[in-house]
Structure 1
């Protein structure tokens, strides 16, 4: 569904220091931005911010960075963050394609990828956020032992992603083909996850370590 342009979104975000519009300038300096040495966790494609805001409110001893392209969804993520009084979250409007320009070596402890576009056409597979083209970028800034947590409703994407992670030298630490029935503790449901689960779709989930 195409988002309707919200002309007020960018001006509202520009009034808040938690919205970062020049993230490249912070490469290798994110701990300075947060003012502490706490671990940094990254969500790629945060949407309206339900997942990242719940996560950050549960553990305020970690720093969180959330990325999405559209101001129209990020402005709502920013509002959630402010409603919860979270100072350990920053949001970035940008193309994930350029993620390697934002973080320095060993700067991120964990990456979350939740329900990304499956890009089912073979000619589009390289756009998948779990494709080796992206995994190579992540390896550049994930610390040794850092993890990627990946959730999807798409069977084919998950199966292909298992191969992608293996090809790129990531260690598979956990796999579930039905997250809701897995007993996995600490799962935070996204809006998509609730919708798919309600329709009886199994959620696939994996943890992969560098």
Structure 2
């Protein structure tokens, strides 16, 4: 038949599709290209994702009405809280990791590639996950680009006090940008008891402070 693919090609496509589907639903991590990282850096990156994938929903530790009023996770990600699903969400957006100078930033995103600075590898595992989640949001288009923080912006960068956001492109003008989604994630960690409520609130407030309101 003129418009048909040879049978062996069709079988090859089917095999690739089946492998992809099984791989996606198997629960195994889907790490992107790490060829530009050394062995120690790759190990730290994998440990970050492994930690994230342990964070699954359990009994909510806060008042249910408070949770329902404040949760934003599902409305943003279109799936319920799940570290495994969130890991895949991030990795579907980041295609390559590299290491180098990032100036006044912990990491930088460009066209599917995340450049990780030296300070990234000194962070604790939660902060590394927050950085990866934040950078992955930039893959979703220019609507999620940062805007300049006000000159009188006095909030500290919780991951590196030497980085001063005031007057730099380190804030968001949309509620579901890089800082909004990390805040939503942190709220779930507090609600499910992965963080105590004091730490969760401090971290949440730090992230949400970068979302500029009109």
Query: Is this a same-fold pair by TM over 0.5?
Result: no
Q: What is the TM-score normalised by the length of structure 2?
A: 0.30
Greater per-residue helix proportion: 2
Q: What is the TM-score normalised by the length of structure 1?
A: 0.30
Larger radius of gyration: 2
